[in-house]
A and B are shown apart, each in its own frame.
Chain A
Amino acid sequence: MTSQFLMALSLPEAAHNILAYTAFTFYIVLIISGGLVAALSRILVRALVGLAVTFLGVAGLYLLLASPFLAFMQLLIYVGAICILIFFAIMLVKNTGSGEEMRLPGLGQITGALIAALTPLALFGPLIVLNTNGTAELPIITPLMEIGSGLLSYYILPFELISIVLLVAMTGSIFLAWDKRFKK
């Protein structure tokens, strides 16, 4: 849990642990509060801000897991790109003030949502607590070169497939959003 960033501070072992658990608690509080706002807020822009806070918390957890590259990717892709995309979606759609989201969902919907949220918690929570045994060793930072060479050698097929998926998705969305404009 103690990441290598804290190792560099040359503090005693106990201080590492305390610092790491403090950081973990801070990030988990970010995740929980942001996630609750994102899932439950009746105002979509507010939900989006909650989502961005959750993304920041998850980026912090990536740092604690000794994968700084992923933390930067998380900030770039999620906070930088996807949040902006969702903000466009909110702005382009009539959704302000007294929008559809303002009315509370019905009782059945709330019950369904609670069941859907609690079932995985009840199923997987005990499984995780009882059956998980990770190594006691600290996670090490994977050199970026290893990730890059893996991307171009062993994992080249998923890499190419992701490129195709991205290409198709982008062309498809441009095509979808554009065609009516030419007819008018």
Chain B
Amino acid sequence: MISPLILFMLSALLLLALGLLGLISRRTLVGMLISVELLLNGAGLSVVAAAQLTPASNAAGQLATIFIMGLAAAEATLVLAMIIVIHRRFETVETKALATLKDSPL
């Protein structure tokens, strides 16, 4: 029987891989935001699995994941605001189009 910790760690790794796949293959900022959430979820899952299935402190692991969730909320809010500002200025959120520093196109 495979150890449960291995299974949980592999699923967290899978979330990491899926997040990276989406993060690079997406063309827009909104799609990249979705992929980043996948990455953060994998991080939380691996921390909780490592805390619950080893002698490490359970409370510490759960708190770490709650902190990750808080950070994810803050990050999503900020990125939403940035997306709105970028959309106002460039009329698009495609990453390839965002190649301007101040006024001069690169």
Contacts and interface: CB of A to CB of B under 8 A. Distances in A.
B24 interface: yes
Interface residues of A, number: 83
A101 B35 CA distance: 14
B102 interface: no
Given A44-B30, A117-B17, A177-B85, A128 B78 contact: no
Given A139-B53, A146-B59, A165-B71, A39 B38 contact: yes
A81 interface: yes
Interface string A135-150: 1000110100011001
A174 B78 CA distance: 9
Interface in B1-26: 3-11, 13-26
Interface string B64-106: 0111011111111111111111011001111000000000000
Contacts of A100: 27-28, 92-94
Interface string B12-56: 011111111111111110110111011001001100110011110
Contacts, number: 241
A65 B17 contact: no
B73 A134 contact: no
Residues of A contacting B: mostly? helix
Given A38-B38, A86-B37, A93 B87 contact: yes
Given A32-B14, A121-B13, A39 B19 contact: yes
A19 interface: no
Contacts of B78: 169, 172-173
Contacts of B70: 162, 165-166
Interface in A137-184: 139-140, 142, 146-147, 150-151, 155, 158-159, 162, 165-166, 169-170, 172-174, 176-177, 180
A11 interface: no
A92 interface: yes
Contacts of A129: 6, 10
A132 B28 contact: no
A99 B31 CA distance: 12
Nearest to A57: B11
A150 B63 CA distance: 8
B59 A61 contact: no
30 contacts: A31-B11, A35-B38, A39-B21, A40-B22, A44-B31, A67-B58, A70-B44, A70-B48, A70-B65, A73-B66, A77-B73, A78-B72, A82-B73, A85-B77, A86-B33, A88-B80, A101-B27, A105-B27, A117-B18, A120-B17, A128-B9, A129-B10, A133-B5, A134-B6, A165-B70, A166-B70, A169-B74, A169-B77, A173-B80, A176-B84
